Amino acid sequence: MTPAADTERLPYTPDQVAEALGRSWRTTLLTAHRWMVLGRTLDSRMQALQRQGRVGFYGAATGQEAVNVAAGLATTPDDWIFPGLREQLVALVRGHDLVAYAHHLFGDARDPAVGRNMPCHPSAREVHYVSMSSVIGTQVSHAAGLAYGLRLRRDRGVAVAFFGDGATSSNDFHAGMNLAGVFGLPVLFCCTNNQWAISIPVDRQTAAPTLASKAREYGLDGRRVDGTDLVAVYRALAESLARIRAGGPAEMIEFVLYRMTPHSSSDDPGRYQPGDWAARARAHDPLDRLERWLRENGMMDDAASARVRADADDTVRAAIRTAESTPAPAPSTLTEGVFRDSAPAPLAGDP
Ligand SMILES: Cc1ncc(C[n+]2csc(CCOP(=O)(O)OP(=O)(O)O)c2C)c(N)n1
Ligand SMILES: [Mg+2]
């Protein structure tokens, strides 16, 4: 399976970008750049902290920031996000507080889930960001189910499900796509094809010519988009969301991109990736591509870029400092919200 057309830089004129992003295209690009830098900064800090033993686990989204930021900007508050492992930036762009997310990463007393979930598995009710299910592919059918509810309630929202290339081999992918197709549900399936399911490359995962082609077999529109091109990603998402919001059927977009980090902090890709993978992935870095375009078109210089990076670094470090100095959840919280009474009475005969 070949990736989307390789391009050295975003091949657009400013007029073409304006047409793709609308009247406030300059603000959109600069806002997207700021968020992409924030995501990149958070990933690199958290990976270092995990290595230092300060957080238990981390799954980076490095290389996938264009999709996450564009999704955060193109969706509306009515929409619902069903993430995989790498979409936390979508929640932040939609308004989830970075400090709250840092509390979650440290599993401390102010973590909205009071330390019950693995780090990197947040939920953010206020921005309709549903808790990630670690069971690969299940969010595809969860999203279709919620979309069924939205249809019944005549709600304007669209359910947006994110899942990896590997997830397209799961039972739940089949169940969710089929349900969405049969009932014409308001759901947008976003496949982030980073070309690896841990150690399994995408061409060992499926004999289908593309992942987007799978959608067509369920009667849905399936398109491939270069997931490292912020403009193309934003336009594709905005167009699909508008069609679905207007009553159109579910759609799937396959975003082709490159996993630039290990699968997670528990992985060693040196054992299975070809030696030139890292260099190939770096050549398709979505942040580099956007920043180069901004510089070539007079919208960014060294000073502005350094400022954005310094701001992101300050913001991320401050959030981490706050979370790291927060105590662990009290042991008594273990059963709160789980049982009606604070702890179940021991069974007769228990020691
Ligand atoms: C049902 C199930 N099988 C296996 C796993 C172990 N597992 C965790 S992540 C992963 C690969 C996922 O790959 P992909 O869907 O491409 O997403 P990516 O991690 O690349 O974003 C696997 C097999 C799991 N969590 N759930
Ligand atoms: Mg993958």
Nearest to 244 by CA among 79, 83, 129: 79
For residue 296, pLDDT beyond 90: yes
- Give pLDDT tens digits for 322-339: 999 999 999 988 888 776
Predicted confidence at residue 335, as pLDDT, reads 80
Predicted confidence at residue 162, as pLDDT, reads 98
For residue 1, pLDDT beyond 70: no
Quick one: CA dihedral 164, 168, 172, 176, positive or negative? positive
272 is catalytic: yes
Nearest to 211 by CA among 160, 158, 170, 245: 170
For residue 101, pLDDT beyond 90: yes
Averaged pLDDT for residues 127-134:
93
For residue 113, pLDDT beyond 80: yes
Judge contact between 123 and 130, C-beta under 8 A: yes
- Give pLDDT tens digits for 29-41: 999 999 999 999 9
Predicted confidence at residue 6, as pLDDT, reads 43
* Ligand 1 closest atom vs CA 165: 16
129 is catalytic: no
Beta-carbon neighbour count of residue 70 at 10 Å?
31
Q: Which of 34, 174, 272, 309 is labelled catalytic?
A: 272
For residue 171, pLDDT beyond 80: yes
Global pTM?
A: 0.94
CA atoms within 13 A on the CB side of 212: 16
Write out the two tokens for 72: 């955060």
Q: What's the angle, vertex CA 165, arms to CA 197 and CA 204, rounded to 5?
A: 60
What are the pocket residues of ligand 1 if the criterion is a CB atom closer than 6 Å to any ligand atom? 84-86, 134-136, 163-167, 192, 194, 196-198, 263
Q: Which of 40, 142, 259, 284 is labelled catalytic?
A: 259
Predicted confidence at residue 5, as pLDDT, reads 45
Rounded to whole angstroms, how far apart are CA atoms 215 and 212?
A: 6
Rounded to whole angstroms, how far apart are CA atoms 297 and 285?
A: 19
Sorted by where each starts, the structural domains of the chain and their CATH numbers stand as 45-264+275-326 (3.40.50.970)
218 is catalytic: no
Q: How far is CA 41 from the centre of its chain?
A: 16
Listed in sequence order, the residues at least 6 apart from 343 whose beta carbon sits closer than 8 Å to its beta carbon are 335
